[in-house]
């Protein structure tokens, strides 16, 4: 039997809803308690599922983490890239990206435990090489994207000559993660405001 609204099989719809529930509840659990401190029993309690119901969708806690990571990336992208890519000036794009990351993602307390990616990286480093490397690759991609925007700005004659775009991009990513760590431990909104202001000032100093 088909769902008249989605056109999908009703059983498939139910399975999709259950899987989404597992991912969403596990995301918040991992964010607050950490990956290793979150037990399968915690996930079962949060989702009101039996072990059979849970393992019918995911073979292991590691598989759940992978789905949670992908979901966290989607949420982050939606918030951070809003109004960014349509900016024609690459320097304004960088400034908007910084503001969105700090105010619309970190400062909006999207995840109860703070920045999901930073929390996971701190916990998993030295514990799970594949997971921690996956998170690190994400940070590297962000840095390379900022570097590409800086390269575009240089090509348009918007930057001072002789700048090391890779080092600048890395510095911005490091600064964002530093702000995330401080904000997560204090929930002090001035950290968000001051980081936006100071990174904005830094970016403006790069202009020709």
CA distance 191 to 198: 10
Which carries the bigger pLDDT value, residue 31 or residue 6?
31
Q: Which CATH number fits domain 81-205: 3.30.1360.70, 3.20.20.70, 1.10.357.10, 1.10.260.40?
A: 1.10.357.10
- pTM equals 0.90
Question: Is there a contact between 180 and 153 (Cβ–Cβ < 8 Å)?
Answer: no
CATH code reported for the domain at 7-60: 1.10.10.60
Beta strands in 47-136 (DSSP E): none
Tokens 């936006």 found at: 196
> In a 3-state reduction of DSSP, which class is residue 109?
coil
CA distance 60 to 64: 7
Q: pLDDT tens, 114-128?
A: 899 999 999 999 999
Q: What percent of the chain has pLDDT over 90?
A: 89
Q: pLDDT confidence of 112, banded at 50, 70, 90?
A: confident
Q: pLDDT tens, 49-82?
A: 999 999 999 999 999 999 999 999 999 999 999 9
Domain map (residue ranges) of the chain: 7-60, 81-205
In terms of Cα–Cα distance, which of 101, 102, 112, 113 is closest to 77? 101
Structure tokens at 195: 């980081």
């Amino acid at each position: 039997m088909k769902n008249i609204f989605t056109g999908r099989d009703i059983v498939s719809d139910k399975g999709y809803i259950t899987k989404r529930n597992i991912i969403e509840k596990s995301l918040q659990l991992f964010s607050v308690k950490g990956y290793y401190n979150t037990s399968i029993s915690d996930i079962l309690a949060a989702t009101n599922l039996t072990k059979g119901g849970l393992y019918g969708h995911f073979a292991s806690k590691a598989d759940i983490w992978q789905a949670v990571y992908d979901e966290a990336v989607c949420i982050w992208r939606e918030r951070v890239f809003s109004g960014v890519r349509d900016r024609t000036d690459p320097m304004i794009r960088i400034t908007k990206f910084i503001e969105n990351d700090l105010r619309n993602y970190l400062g909006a307390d999207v995840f109860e435990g703070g920045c999901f990616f930073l929390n996971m990286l701190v916990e998993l480093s030295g514990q799970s090489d594949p997971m921690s490397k996956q998170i690190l690759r994400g940070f590297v991609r962000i840095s390379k994207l900022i570097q590409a925007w800086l390269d575009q700005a240089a090509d348009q004659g918007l930057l001072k000559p002789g700048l090391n775009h890779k080092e600048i991009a890395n510095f911005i990513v490091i600064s964002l993660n530093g702000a995330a760590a401080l904000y997560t431990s204090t929930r002090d909104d001035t950290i968000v405001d001051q980081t936006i202001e100071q990174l904005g000032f830094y970016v403006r100093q790069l202009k020709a």
